[in-house]
Amino acid sequence: MIKTEEKSSYKWVIVIASFFVMVMVNGIIYNVFAVFTIPVTNDLGINRQSFSRAQTLVFIATIFINPFISNLIDKFGLIRLLRVFSV
């Protein structure tokens, strides 16, 4: 006899909670750069345009790298990749 999975809305609660956590984390990460732009550029002696350009390149690189990282996680597993990349 094949058991069917219960239909539960608890899964959707986890998905929705995870979504809101990611929205908050990404909002904090992406918006905190504005607070530190002037102090960092003054200390490093660079202009704000160069600093903002570097931020933009990091964000764009993240967009293109994430699908490859996702495939690696599916193929090798998260724990194994964390062991390799945390060194």
Do 59 and 30 contact (CB within 8 A), yes or no? yes
CA dist 38 and 72 (Å) reads 37
pLDDT, residue 20, reads 92
pLDDT at 64: 94
Which of 25, 24, 51, 50 has its CA nearest to residue 37? 51
Which residues of the chain have a pLDDT value below 50? Answer: none
HEC profile for 2-47?
CCCCCCCCHHHHHHHHHHHHHHHHHHHHHHHHHHHHHHHHHHHCCC
Q: What is the pLDDT of residue 2?
A: 64
Q: Write down the pTM of the prediction.
A: 0.57
pLDDT for 30 equals 78
What pLDDT, on the 0 to 100 scale, is given for residue 1?
56
Question: Domain limits of the chain?
Answer: 10-85
